[in-house]
Structure 1
Amino acid sequence: MLAENLPPAAPAPEVATMLIGGLSAYGRLYGLPNSPEQVQGILGTLLRLHQPHKSAALVDAVAQQVLDGLTPEALKTAIVNRASSALAKEAYRWQQHLEQRLQGILAAYVQSYAPLLTPERVKLAVTTALPLLDDRPLTRAESFGLISRFVQIFDPEGAIAAAIDPAYRALAATLATALDQQPMAEAVGETVTAYVKKYAPTLTNIGADLIAAALSAVLKNQVDFNADIQLTVIDEALLIEQVSFQLNILQQSPPPSQTARAIADQLNAVVESYRQERSEQAGTLDVTAGLVSGDGLSISSPLTSTRRPGDRPA
């Protein structure tokens, strides 16, 4: 839903060689999954660890390109040395760490809130739990790799009898709240998508302020979405975090409904009003830089929340 960019250039040969070597080492040590999403997730983790300062978008693009050109022969003939083996082991440890945390959160959720989970609900629960991990931000490739794997391996019946760390029970409570807020989160995501498509097509990152403004606008029109959620029971910071993850990392949003498009027009009116007000106050000052930019919307209007995902209440 974000601005489309030109296809990235092919990864440097040494980067592709490193990734294929690391993937080959991973396969020899631990085995490779059959799922393309999980293989791409491994490639994303390998590249993240090898080049930690590379942007998430570039990590995803390179992982996709390497996966597209990958052949069994390339894996078989790849040079596996001490460096590639060490990288593979580090990637495996990182993935095991994430899987352990997700396993704990979902097991606690099953025990306290949902003893019967279908595979589709497992997928939704994992997707919703990913932003709750207090680790470095995940890339799109890593996220879809984890989602794919957990749909395969998570056993709700076995989770009922599992011993649970109390810390996971707190996270499970947050997960339950986030899942309860899904209808509102979808409505907000639709509204942001409609706004960006119509009024800010070059926007490359959705900021928390834009999501907060859309949330406030949706709450004023929630009956049109059939989303009967009162403001007092909404954890705004949690919802903003969830919508941001869906739009910026997973890059997914339901197609905007007619209601979402109408509310997006209201949202744009607020933004334009703020621009006009700032323009009159600042004269020739370029006020649009702080409104719609690569970092998203940053405004102080009646619709804007002052809370951020990192400000989640205790």
Structure 2
Amino acid sequence: MARPAFADRQKPKIGYLSWFPESMKDDLDRFREGMEKVGYTEPDYELEAYFTGGNPQSTRDIARKLIEEPVDVIVAVATPAVHIVKAATQTIPIVMFSANALATGLVPSLSYPGGNLTGVSLLLTDTAGKRLEFLRQIEPGLHTAAFLGSTKDPNTVNFVKQTQMAADELGVKLAVKLVDGPQAIGQPIFEAMKADGSQAIIAQPIFVGYQDEIVAMAMKDRLPVISDWAAFAKAGALFTYGARQAAGMRRTAYYVDRILKGTKPADLPVEQPTEFELIINLKTAKALGLNVPQSLLVRADDIIE
């Protein structure tokens, strides 16, 4: 077996770097749960955790700090953070929780990632279409939807592409609005979407952590929000459909364990999610005067009333 990554110290040191704000600390809790499942309690390892709230310079600075210490493994959460960490080191193992690592050039192959990067990668192809199909079932007269995305996420172009393809198939106009970050999202954006005829907003999940503010502003203009992750539905989005974020975060611990035991990241295939969930917020639907068909309610994994 290969020499363990932390052979020169008493216990391993893990860096956790999330692009999301600290309000997403539940992700960190799920990682800790995953570590416990594979046999580690926190006294068995050191953990340095940081949340940068979508700030590229802060993400670069913290990545540099973790590399200089150095830590034994870096867990990087969200595509922009993974790209920044990957650009900063070619030696320290990186475990990612990222969207579409293949399409954004993080790895050349999911089966053979090569280099110092592996982990969990989310795909968008099927989920983008299904979200719009579900929305059409709730709003049969849907003709225009707005897409709220980020200029800072390398995955945005792919997210827009997949959503546009789904919109074209359904005959729905997609109005794309990209912003530099959550701090650039204000009430005028939603007012403009409403004035342009948008009937709903597809929020890119890179804005998770700011879902409360986004949903609240959209609801002032009676615009339902849909997205990928459960946090949006819990904040009042009409529904969410996507991979189970909690399961993906727990799974990153499997990779950390394998690396700490000596396996090279290049030899660990990147995994894609196998668990997906549909969460419908009936309270929001009623507030907007929307009827959710029984066929969709039966399909839901959770219903918020």
TM interval, shorter chain, is under 0.3
Q: With structure 2 as the length reference, what TM-score do the two structures score? A: 0.25
Q: With structure 1 as the length reference, what TM-score do the two structures score? A: 0.24
Which has a greater percent of helix? Answer: 1
Rg larger for: 1
